[in-house]
A and B are shown apart, each in its own frame.
Chain A
Amino acid sequence: EDQVTQSPEALRLQEGESSSLNCSYTVSGLRGLFWYRQDPGKGPEFLFTLYSAGEEKEKERLKATLTKKESFLHITAPKPEDSATYLCAVQAGTGNQFYFGTGTSLTVIP
């Protein structure tokens, strides 16, 4: 069964304390892996797309990496405004369907 698992479920960091979020997946025929940020009461905001193992993308304090079975979202020196839920999704299968993880809720404390 196609599955996407994110860990940890919740993460509290001090401002400036770097860390990583994990997204592991078991799907056949991966077409792409996507990271989104979601603020409370809003729709997910697109961050990155990764297509092949070894690929990396960066945006401000965020860096996403991809291996054959998982992806990491590294947050360097986070700020309170980085507090949000980070969602991982994979597009896979013959129907190119999207499968979402349940997200990591990040809180950055000043």
Chain B
Amino acid sequence: KAGVTQTPRYLIKTRGQQVTLSCSPISGHRSVSWYQQTPGQGLQFLFEYFSETQRNKGNFPGRFSGRQFSNSRSEMNVSTLELGDSALYLCASSYQPGQETQYFGPGTRLLVL
């Protein structure tokens, strides 16, 4: 069974631009979560989607948004990029929210110049 896939793997943007990242969960998984990972902060939870609905949201500004499609694929968008948004963005999927193990994708490395 194919794992979680994320595209693109690497991205370079400049301040003020916006970016869209994509995540395809493991087949059959309907829950998708997004995390930001930086050296100093570790993994910080962004949001979680299940059945096209946002279930949880972390403490990030409104510039960070996401959505989920009927096939469970998910996208996250960051508008008006700032230097501090440079990070590894990880997507994780599970069958459903609750007492379920999350499986991570390889991440998208975003560099904001």
Residues of A within 8 A of B (CB): 31-32, 34, 36, 41-46, 49, 51, 87, 89, 91, 95-103
Establish whether residues B101 and A49, one from each chain, have CB atoms under 8 Å apart when the complex forms: yes
Give the contact stretch, choosing among B11-19, B65-73, B76-84, B104-112: B104-112
Q: Tell me the chain B residues, 91-113 only, with Cβ under 8 Å from chain A.
A: 97-99, 101-107, 109
In the complex, are the beta carbons of A91 and B106 less than 8 A apart? Answer: no
Q: A34-B102, A43-B106 are in contact. Are A103 and B56 (CB under 8 A)?
A: no
CA distance A93 to B4 in the complex (A): 26
B45 and A42 contacting across the interface, CB-CB below 8 Å? no
C-alpha gap A51/B100 in the complex (Å)? 11
A51 lies within 8 A of B99 (CB): yes
| 30 residue pairs from A and B, CB less than 8 Å apart | A31-B99, A32-B101, A36-B104, A41-B109, A42-B106, A42-B107, A43-B90, A43-B105, A44-B43, A44-B104, A46-B102, A46-B103, A46-B104, A49-B101, A51-B99, A87-B42, A87-B43, A91-B99, A95-B55, A96-B56, A96-B99, A97-B48, A97-B56, A98-B45, A99-B45, A100-B35, A100-B44, A100-B45, A101-B42, A102-B41
